[in-house]
Structure 1
Amino acid sequence: MPNALRRKAVTSLRRIAGRAEAWADRLHHSSAALARRDRERIAANAELRGIHAGRPAFVIGNGPSIRHQDLSPLADQITFVANAFWKHPLMNPQPDGTASLWQPCYYAMVDPLYTDGSAPMALHFEHLLARVPRCLYFVTCEGFNTIERHHLLPLERVRACVLRGNMARVPDISYDLADVLPGVQSVSLFGILAALHMGCSPIYLLGLDHDWLARPSVRCRHFYHGPSVEGHAEVVALEQGAKLGYLINVEAVAVLFRSYERLRTMADGLSVPIYNATRGGFLDVFPRIAYESTITNRKAGSSAGVRRPALST
């Protein structure tokens, strides 16, 4: 086959493959394909719609920068955390052994690894529940099944979600937790979606350092030391031992940042400002703001506390 014809054939095949991939994403993202049980479970999230309308919210990642930021003033604010946040010193038990008075409002674990039913994950949940017993947990529908089967969390405090496709690629994205959400490459993206669903405004981001490409020898960095889940071979490999190659990491970060851009566009359309209050880091999609300025004079308005949803199965 002549070179020119070969190039034309390759180009055509790539175009067809791209269209097929987009069609598959659209089909995979469709809510029509949901099982009845999953649809019923995510329907419970409708009660959270607009629950914090007009209230500021803080989506807190686990980046190393929060080691140097005092989060204690956020005790009476709307907070979204994720994964191994229970390791934060604020979550340490009180002297009498009871849970810390500082409790996040919402806790997301939508990565399938966190609900794989393994023994290391069961221990992870044991620590989580001991330190963060008073919040609402978000998992996938598959994760809900695992939690129910292994009795990992009180089900009245667990909400299921459906995430499909890729946020950077699906034609339409929704922030409605009672519908199909776009798949997320970082749990922080889910936190922003949840905050939008609950009507929060403005939204402040913390601990989203996203500086992996500047430190290629370190796969994953957090405010805590060691792996997110002790003894979990796959988590350890991903965070500390994986050698994926710099190009693969560059491409992954590009997808992540495009996802943030789509969220920014969505939030702009809703007139919801999103600010990055992370100390340092590389996330430049959102305008920067000093964390200290977000908590100035908030204590005066915190006496009403946070309206938490009525918990039901």
Structure 2
Amino acid sequence: MDLIASFRRTLRYSLGRQLPNLHNDRRLRRLKDIHKGRRAFVIGNGPSLKVPDLDRLTNDIAFASNKIYLAFDRTPWRPTYLTCSDSVVAQTVGPNMAALPITKIFGHSTFPYFKRHADITYCNSPSRRTDPKDWDLIKGVSTGHSVLYWDLELAFWMGIREIYAIGVDFSFEVASKATGAKAMGNDVLAAGREVNHFHPDYRKPGELWTMPQLNKQRDEFAFALEKYRSHGGVIYNASRETKLDAWPRVDFESLFK
């Protein structure tokens, strides 16, 4: 049984790498510098994210991910882009995300769960010869250890050099049980009753998720800041509450004066 499960995982990953490349690459090329000169918000789904704050972003480019749709019954706001880089999330709530009338850009590992949905653009998987520091969506990019890092790569490709992050608490309560499985190198957990997100029912007991590796995330976020700065850009942490110290802080309210 273990051999069969391993084969299936390998097959799913291989399918994710062999995307309908020509059509998909055309979509990626059309995104190059599409928002050059604009600022953008990348949205974490932490407890500090306030739905009224989303209403303030109506005129801004916004990247949001995973179960951000749980806020939609309380706000007319919608993100410019919906992202997902985690195959476990895709397997769990894929149909909910696929049904949303929002421009979707997903990681290569999610392809097996969405391959019937032609409106999704995928980022290519990096090859062994790909430099992960290039951030070239055509050659392939790493999704890192956080969808937020991946959002920064997307924004950079689109020509955005001014980034504000909100809802990035960078703190997790873990009352989950280990399943013994792994996804993308991370331990897969079965959720307990911990609350790590803006919505109390964001993750129900027993739902699978991957253990966040905060040290690796912080290193990636620090590199992202260097990448933006080397191209005249900035990344600010505008979260109302946060333990992330990789980016300079800025007051959220000051961004709308």
Fold shared, TM-score > 0.5 on shorter chain? yes
Say whether residues 1:138 and 2:105 are aligned partners: yes
Q: How many corresponding residue pairs? A: 222
Question: Once superposed, which parts of structure 1, at least 4 consecutive aligned residues long, lie more than 6 Å away?
Answer: none
TM-score, normalised to structure 2's length?
A: 0.76
Q: 2:152 aligns with which of 163, 184, 192?
A: 192
**Between the two proteins, what is the percent identity of the paired residues?**
23
d(CA) in 1 for partners of 2:53, 2:246: 24
Q: 2:25 aligns with which of 36, 42, 64?
A: 42
TM-score, normalised to structure 1's length?
A: 0.63
Q: Deviations over 1:128-184 (max 9, x none)?
A: 63xx42x211113353343233xxx5x23x11113459xxxx964122222210231
Unaligned runs of 5+ in 2: 1-16, 176-192
Retained in 2: the 8 A contact 1:83–1:114?
yes
d(CA) in 2 for partners of 1:291, 1:69: 12
Q: Which has the higher strand share?
A: 2
Unaligned runs of 5+ in 1: 1-33, 94-99, 240-248, 297-313
Say whether residues 1:92 and 2:92 are aligned partners: no
Counterpart mapping for 1:1-313 below 5 A: 35=18, 37-38=20-21, 40-67=23-50, 70-88=53-71, 91-92=72-73, 101-116=76-91, 120-125=92-97, 129=99, 132-133=100-101, 135-149=102-116, 153=117, 155-156=118-119, 158-164=120-126, 172-212=132-172, 215=173, 221-228=196-203, 233-235=207-209, 238=210, 252-296=213-257
Retained in 1: the 8 A contact 2:126–2:142?
yes
Q: Which has the higher helix share?
A: 1
d(CA) in 2 for partners of 1:172, 1:283: 23
User: Which structure: larger Rg?
Assistant: 1
Retained in 2: the 8 A contact 1:42–1:179?
no
d(CA) in 1 for partners of 2:19, 2:104: 21
* Structure 1 residue 220: Cα displacement: 5.9
Q: Deviations over 1:59-114 (max 9, x none)?
A: 011011113762212112100000000011xx118xxxxxx642210000111113
